[in-house]
């Protein structure tokens, strides 16, 4: 089993839709989690950190469920510009490494 797993998608949604991605992790000792956004042929860029109490930034909400070992990203009122691949990452301790999921592709259409 991979340490961090994501549904690769693609998720095809119309503008204005609400879409949610989950990401499961296997190491219960993981302390820190992040969501990154990656546009085609570009580098991953930090979207948001995921805190135990949840984290909201505008249309984006990230949550952590330690009991079930997953993190989620909710995007409300999707825009065409949200089309990208979303990577989740978990901190596995030991030299501050992050383990990345393979990404979930989102395509928002008019």
Partner 1 sequence: DVKVTQSSRYLVKRTGEKVFLECVQDMDHENMFWYRQDPGLGLRLIYFSYDVKMKEKGDIPEGYSVSREKKERFSLILESASTNQTSMYLCASSLWQGSSSYEQYFGPGTRLTVT
- Which residues from 17-36 bind partner 1, rule CB under 8 A? 31-32, 34
In whole angstroms, what is the distance from residue 76 CA to residue 95 CA? 35
Nearest residue to 21 via CA among 33, 40, 30: 33
Q: How far is the CB of 102 from partner 1 (least distance, A)?
A: 3
- Which residues from 33-62 bind partner 1, rule CB under 8 A? 34, 41-46, 49
Q: Are 61 and 54 in contact (CB under 8 A)?
A: yes
**Which listed residue (64, 92, 106, 108) binds partner 1 by CB under 8 A?**
92
Q: Are 71 and 60 in contact (CB under 8 A)?
A: no
**Which listed residue (1, 28, 53, 95) binds partner 1 by CB under 8 A?**
95
């Amino acid at each position: 089993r991979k340490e961090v797993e994501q549904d690769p998608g693609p998720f095809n949604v119309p503008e204005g839709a609400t879409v949610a991605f989950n990401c499961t992790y296997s190491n219960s000792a993981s302390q820190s989690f992040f969501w990154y956004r990656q546009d085609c042929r570009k580098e991953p860029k930090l979207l948001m950190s995921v805190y135990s109490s949840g984290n909201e930034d505008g249309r984006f909400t990230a949550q952590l469920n330690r009991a079930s070992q997953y993190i989620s990203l909710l995007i409300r009122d999707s825009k065409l510009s949200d089309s990208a691949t979303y990577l989740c990452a978990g901190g596995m301790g030991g030299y501050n490494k992050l383990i990345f999921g393979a990404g979930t592709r989102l395509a928002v259409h008019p």
